[in-house]
């Protein structure tokens, strides 16, 4: 960072020179500017030292997010496959039930009435 010289200045509102008559003001101003430059240099140095660490932490965070996304994608694929197999099993069960009821209508009505009676006893 460049340091600038802050010596004699001209007050823009009054046009007066702030030279030797205001030595304390110039010294305080110069000290403040020096402190600001020192702080800026320290901040720049700190940034230079911490940037690799910040980049490393950011890279680790990106890796964690990528791994989590990969795991979620694998889980979603497995759930989709399981859902498809459950849908197929449901369709087969409905088809088998329909064919059983068609083949044995009286038995199906008797089973349904018995199931209804049992459920009514349990609920009430």
Residues 6+ apart with CB under 8 A from 65: none
Residue bearing the bigger pLDDT, 69 or 103: 103
Nearest to 26 by CA among 10, 3, 38, 47: 10
**What are the extents of the domains in the chain?**
20-123
pLDDT confidence band for 83 (50 / 70 / 90): very high
**DSSP symbol at 8:** S
Whether 23 and 7 have beta carbons less than 8 Å apart is answered as: no
Nearest to 21 by CA among 32, 33, 11: 11
Most confident of 34-43, 47-56, 90-99: 90-99
Inter-CA distances, 66 with 77, 119, 121, Å: 16, 51, 55
pLDDT confidence band for 24 (50 / 70 / 90): low
pLDDT above 80 for 105: yes
Residue 98, phi-psi category: left (phi > 0), alpha (psi -120 to 50), beta (remainder): alpha
pLDDT confidence band for 18 (50 / 70 / 90): very low
pTM beyond 0.85:
no
Taking the C-alpha atoms of residue 15 and residue 65, their distance in angstroms, rounded to an integer, is 61
Residue bearing the bigger pLDDT, 121 or 44: 121
Residues 6+ apart with CB under 8 A from 26: 7, 8, 18, 19
């Amino acid at each position: 960072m460049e340091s600038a010289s802050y010596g004699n200045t001209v007050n823009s509102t009054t046009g007066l020179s702030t030279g030797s008559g205001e030595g304390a003001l110039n010294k305080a101003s110069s000290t403040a500017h020096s402190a600001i430059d020192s702080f800026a240099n320290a901040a720049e140095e700190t940034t230079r030292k911490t940037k690799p660490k910040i980049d490393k932490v950011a890279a680790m965070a990106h890796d964690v997010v990528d791994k989590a996304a990969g795991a979620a994608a694998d889980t979603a694929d497995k759930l989709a496959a399981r859902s498809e197999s459950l849908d197929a099993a449901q369709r087969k069960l409905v088809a088998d039930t329909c064919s059983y009821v068609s083949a044995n209508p009286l038995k199906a009505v008797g089973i349904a009435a018995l199931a209804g009676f049992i459920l009514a006893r349990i609920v009430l």
